[in-house]
Structure 1
Amino acid sequence: MSPLDVTVHVNRGSADAVLETDVDTVETCEPIQLVLRGHETPAHVHCRLDERLDRVASIDGSNYYVEPDDVTPVPIRVDAEAIESPVEGTLEIVGGYGAESVSIDVTVTPGPPQVDVDDSLAEPTRSEPEPTPIERAVTGFSALTGIEMGTIAVVALGLVAIGIATATAATIGGPVAIGGLAIVVVGVAVGLGLLIR
């Protein structure tokens, strides 16, 4: 999850400890990235969460030194999965040893529900179509005789080729048509011989 950026300007247009924020309120279920942007002079900045917000969020450190023209990121972890209803609290940024402060109202909302993903989602859910009567007959014949489906398909194709060659030879007649029929029959016989081996 990418954090939500909240910028606080430190000493912008002033040498004193002046703090300005771009937002007054934040609503999130994600981590917050507090960005302390230094300007004119360096400053010590203290960040803290009030006790309500401290139950669902945490800051790694509380004291930061902000250099001029530098950016100091302050990551704030948020545990939105642990709550069932929104939690409202305050993020306070204090500068100048307590002389200046700015508060941001933060509402942590419950995170999206966890979705358990198991391995069954990777398997396709398509159902196999019902086999046609011809497919069932061929499958049954293949199981009965032990001959592979591919061999049965080649035999069927060979018989169709012989049937077409016979019909052509009978229609046309003559020695050339009979020779063509003989070539087709020999080709099918050779193919079957190679398959059965």
Structure 2
Amino acid sequence: MADTLTVRVNADGPHSVSADASDFETTGSFSLVLDNDGSPAHVHVRLDDALRRVAALDDTNHYVDRNATTIVDIEILDGPRPVSGTLTVFTGYGSESVEVPVRIEEPSETSEGVAVGEDLAHKPSREPDASPETLVVPGVVAATGVLSAALALVFLTGVVALFVAGVALVGGLAMAGFLLRAT
């Protein structure tokens, strides 16, 4: 959302509310930034009838914590343009409010969007680098694991031999599987 409208809460005392703009104009969805400069506050956001025909809020009641910021997304829907209406923000359970005239214009037809570089327009290849240099270390680890398993079975006895051989064999086979996938 490119456009933002900031409303300050508690900046001039408890329950005070003021907008950074005397009016607001947009062509699409926007963010209402509730910037609390004091104690926690309950804030109610209301769109008048004209704005409700082309705009939507997920929630009208918001809790803004002490010295915190809450962002309220206002989605602009398809509908007739231009539309003018009023966005009202209440604090102090309705005792204080600020009204901001809002005008929703038709998007510019000359807008060409965002230019994307030719190298970004294509999906990158996900092929791994299978050069010999990248395969040497896993190959050595795989060979060492298999050799360790064989040596453990020859020189050790009992449960210890089986455990060491099993761990070494699993490690070696895992590296061998990695090598097969990389090529």
TM-score normalised by the chain length of structure 2: 0.57
Q: Counterparts of 1:51 and 1:17 in 2: how far apart (Å)?
A: 26
For 1:53-132, what aligned pairs fall within 5 Å after superposition? Answer: 53-79=51-77, 81-83=78-80, 85-113=81-109
For structure 2, list consecutive stretches of 5 or more residues without a partner in the other structure.
112-183
Q: Which residue of 2 aligns with 1:51?
A: 49
Q: Counterparts of 2:79 and 2:9 in 1: how far apart (Å)?
A: 33
CA deviation after TM superposition for structure 1 residue 114, in Å: 10
SS in 1 for 2:11: coil
- Structure 1 stretches of 4+ with a deviation exceeding 4 A read none
Residue 35 (1) aligns with residue 33 (2):
yes
Q: Counterparts of 1:41 and 1:77 in 2: how far apart (Å)?
A: 29
CA deviation after TM superposition for structure 1 residue 39, in Å: 1.2
Q: Which amino acid aligns with 2:90?
A: V
Q: What's the CA shift string for 1:145-181, capped at 9, x where partnerless?
A: xxxxxxxxxxxxxxxxxxxxxxxxxxxxxxxxxxxxx
Q: Counterparts of 2:89 and 2:37 in 1: how far apart (Å)?
A: 16
SS in 2 for 1:82: coil
CA deviation after TM superposition for structure 1 residue 82, in Å: 2.6
CA deviation after TM superposition for structure 1 residue 13, in Å: 3.7
Q: Which residue of 2 aligns with 1:11?
A: 10
Q: Which has the higher helix share?
A: 1
Query: What value does the CA root-mean-square deviation take over the aligned residues?
Result: 1.8
Identity of aligned residues (%): 37
Q: Counterparts of 1:17 and 1:31 in 2: how far apart (Å)?
A: 27
CA deviation after TM superposition for structure 1 residue 53, in Å: 0.6
**Matched residue pairs, number?**
111
Q: Counterparts of 2:79 and 2:12 in 1: how far apart (Å)?
A: 41
CA deviation after TM superposition for structure 1 residue 68, in Å: 1.5
CA deviation after TM superposition for structure 1 residue 3, in Å: 2.9
Larger Rg computed on CA atoms: 1
Q: Which amino acid aligns with 2:61?
A: N
Q: 1:26 aligns with which of 7, 24, 27?
A: 24
For structure 1, list consecutive stretches of 5 or more residues without a partner in the other structure.
116-197
